[in-house]
Amino acid sequence: MLFFPSCGNDEVENVLNVGEMMRLEGEFVSVMDNQSCEVCNNVGEFVSVVGKDTYKTGPKIDFNRSAVVVIKDTSSSGVSDIEAAFEMVEGRCEIKVSVTKDYTTVVEPWCVALVVPRVESDNTNLYIDYNF
């Protein structure tokens, strides 16, 4: 966590670091294609994908040092857990998402944001693995 001075009291600012992930929910999820990712290298790009409300209420990202990859898909059943990680391989960002499904029969769209080092969108590969 980082500390930022304010006018009176010091506040703790919730900042996501490289390698950390947050789960996103909201209407914006439907605007992305399934099994897709959007690389956001600045606040404007991130807001255009997730919306102002999600940006205002969610953890903060230091776009001077990192980027955010927003990943979206739809599971054929309920989702009990999602883990995401990345690895830099020869200048490319390899993103691996592991989705643990539950045994409910509801189709469930999901979306996560993963903080990665700054990267261009054409230098990313996305792999999604589903398991029970």
Query: Positive or negative, the Cα torsion across 41, 57, 54, 130?
Result: positive
Domains identified in the chain, total number: 1
DSSP string, 74-94: EESS-EEEEEEEEEEETTEEE
pLDDT of res. 58: 79
What DSSP designation does 103 have? S
The reply to whether 96 falls in a domain is: yes
**What distance in Å separates the CA atoms of residue 97 and residue 85, rounded to the nearest whole number?**
7
The reply to whether 5 falls in a domain is: no
The reply to whether 97 falls in a domain is: yes
The reply to whether 87 falls in a domain is: yes
Using DSSP's 3-state secondary structure scheme, residue 105 falls into coil
The reply to whether 9 falls in a domain is: no
Q: What is the pLDDT along the chain (132 residues), one digit of tens a residue?
A: 222 233 334 444 688 999 999 998 766 666 788 999 999 999 999 998 888 887 888 788 999 999 999 999 999 999 999 999 999 999 899 999 999 999 999 999 999 999 999 988 889 999 999 999
The reply to whether 2 falls in a domain is: no
The reply to whether 109 falls in a domain is: yes
Question: What residue numbers bound the domain in which 70 lies?
Answer: 16-131
pTM: 0.84
The reply to whether 103 falls in a domain is: yes
Angle at 119 between CA 64 and CA 15, to 5 degrees: 40
CB 70 within 8 A of CB 58: no
Contacts of 54 (CB under 8 A, 6+ apart): 24, 26, 28
